[in-house]
Structure 1
Amino acid sequence: MTTTTFRIGGDLSVRRLGFGAMRLPAGPGPARETSLQVARRAVELGVTLIDTAHMYGWGANEELLAEALHPYADGLLIATKVGIVRSEGPEGWRHDARPDALRGQVEDALRRLRVERIELLQLHRIDPRTPLAEQLGALRELQEEGKVGRIGLSEVTVDELARAREIVDVAGVQNRYSLFDREHEPVLAACEAAGIAFLPWRPVAGGAPTAELDAVAAELGATPAQVSLAWLLDRSPVVLPIPGTGRIGHLEENVAAAGLELTPAQRERLDGIDRLPGQA
Structure 2
Amino acid sequence: MTAPTTFRIGGDLEVRRLGFGAMHLRPDTAEARAACVVVARRAVELGVTLIDTAHMYGWGANEDLLAEALHPYPADLLIATKVGIRRTTSGEGWRHAGEPADLRAQVDEALLRLRLDRIELLQLHRLDPAVPLPDQLGALRDLRDEGKVGRIGLSEVTAAELAEARTVVDIASVQNRYNLLDREHEPVLKACEAAGVAFLPWRPGAAGTSGARSEIAAVAKELDATPTQVVLAWLLTHSPVILPIPGTTSIAHLEENVGSNAVSLTQDQYDRLDRASESA
CA distance in 1, matches of 2:181, 2:276: 7
1:100-157 per-residue CA deviation (whole Å, 9 max, x = no partner) reads 1101110000000000000000000000000000000000000000000000000000
1:159 aligns with 2:147: no
Q: What residue in structure 1 maps to residue 120 of structure 2?
A: 119
CA contact (8 A) 2:202 2:246 kept: yes
Report the CA distance between 1:276 and its aligned residue: 7.2
CA distance in 2, matches of 1:252, 1:14: 18
CA distance in 2, matches of 1:184, 1:260: 25
CA distance in 2, matches of 1:91, 1:275: 32
State the percentage of identical aligned residues: 68
CA distance in 1, matches of 2:161, 2:263: 34
1:154-194 per-residue CA deviation (whole Å, 9 max, x = no partner) reads 00000000000000000000000000000000000000011
Q: Which letter does structure 2 place at the counterpart of 1:235? A: H
Q: What residue in structure 1 maps to residue 32 of structure 2?
A: 31
Q: What residue in structure 2 maps to residue 259 of structure 1?
A: 262
What SS is found at the alignment partner of 2:8? strand
CA distance in 2, matches of 1:259, 1:162: 35
Q: What residue in structure 2 maps to residue 84 of structure 1?
A: 85
CA distance in 1, matches of 2:187, 2:70: 36
CA contact (8 A) 2:43 2:254 kept: yes
Give the 5 Å matches for 1:115-154: 115-154=116-155
Give the 5 Å matches for 1:36-47: 36-47=37-48
Q: What residue in structure 1 maps to residue 225 of structure 2?
A: 222
1:241 aligns with 2:244: yes
Q: What residue in structure 2 maps to residue 188 of structure 1?
A: 189
Report the CA distance between 1:231 and its aligned residue: 0.3
CA contact (8 A) 2:26 2:61 kept: no
CA contact (8 A) 1:99 1:134 kept: yes
CA distance in 1, matches of 2:159, 2:29: 41
CA contact (8 A) 1:181 1:276 kept: no
1:24-62 per-residue CA deviation (whole Å, 9 max, x = no partner) reads 123332111110000000000000000000000000000
1:209-231 per-residue CA deviation (whole Å, 9 max, x = no partner) reads 21100000000001101101000
Q: What residue in structure 2 maps to residue 213 of structure 1?
A: 216
What SS is found at the alignment partner of 1:274? helix
| Alignment TM-score, normalising by the size of structure 1 | 0.97
Relative distance call for 1:276 and 1:119 in structure 2 (3 A) is farther
After TM superposition, where is structure 1 displaced by more than 4 Å over at least 4 residues in a row? Answer: none
CA distance in 2, matches of 1:204, 1:104: 34
Unaligned runs of 5+ in 1: none
Q: What residue in structure 1 maps to residue 56 of structure 2?
A: 55
Unaligned runs of 5+ in 2: none
What SS is found at the alignment partner of 1:105? helix
- Between the two proteins, the alignment pairs up a number of residues equal to 277
CA distance in 2, matches of 1:26, 1:166: 40
What SS is found at the alignment partner of 1:173? strand
Q: What residue in structure 1 maps to residue 174 of structure 2?
A: 173
Report the CA distance between 1:74 and its aligned residue: 1.2
Q: Which letter does structure 2 place at the counterpart of 1:240? A: L
Relative distance call for 1:159 and 1:265 in structure 2 (3 A) is same
Relative distance call for 1:275 and 1:150 in structure 2 (3 A) is same
CA contact (8 A) 2:26 2:57 kept: no
CA contact (8 A) 1:98 1:135 kept: yes
Relative distance call for 1:87 and 1:276 in structure 2 (3 A) is farther
What SS is found at the alignment partner of 1:129? coil
What SS is found at the alignment partner of 2:72? coil
